[in-house]
Amino acid sequence: MFRPCPPVDDNSLTGAIIGAAIEVHQLPGPGLLESTYEECLVREFDLKGIHYERRKAVPVVYKDVKLDCG
């Protein structure tokens, strides 16, 4: 989901991201699947107006072989 956001300085953005991560760390509790925490973090980002891209593909090469996992 793309949401344009107003310009912010690096410190404000970093603080907002860390705050969102702490919120997700504290509320649902331990032991859930990664996908559950991802959904929670995305919700926090939406609530805080933080722009993000989900599951961005990143090329991974391991021992000269391009892996299809990034």
Q: Is residue 1 part of a domain?
A: no
Q: Is residue 28 part of a domain?
A: yes
Q: Is residue 32 part of a domain?
A: yes
Mean pLDDT of 66-70: 80
**Crossing angle between the packed helical segments 34-48 and 10-26, to the nearest 10 degrees:** 130
This prediction has a pTM of 0.69
**Does residue 7 have a pLDDT over 70?**
no
Q: Is residue 39 part of a domain?
A: yes
Q: Is residue 44 part of a domain?
A: yes
29: containing domain: 10-67
End-to-end alpha carbon distance in the chain: 20
> Could you give the percent of the chain with pLDDT greater than 90?
64
Mean pLDDT of 30-51: 94
Q: What is residue 13's predicted lDDT score, i.e. its pLDDT?
A: 92
Q: Is residue 59 part of a domain?
A: yes
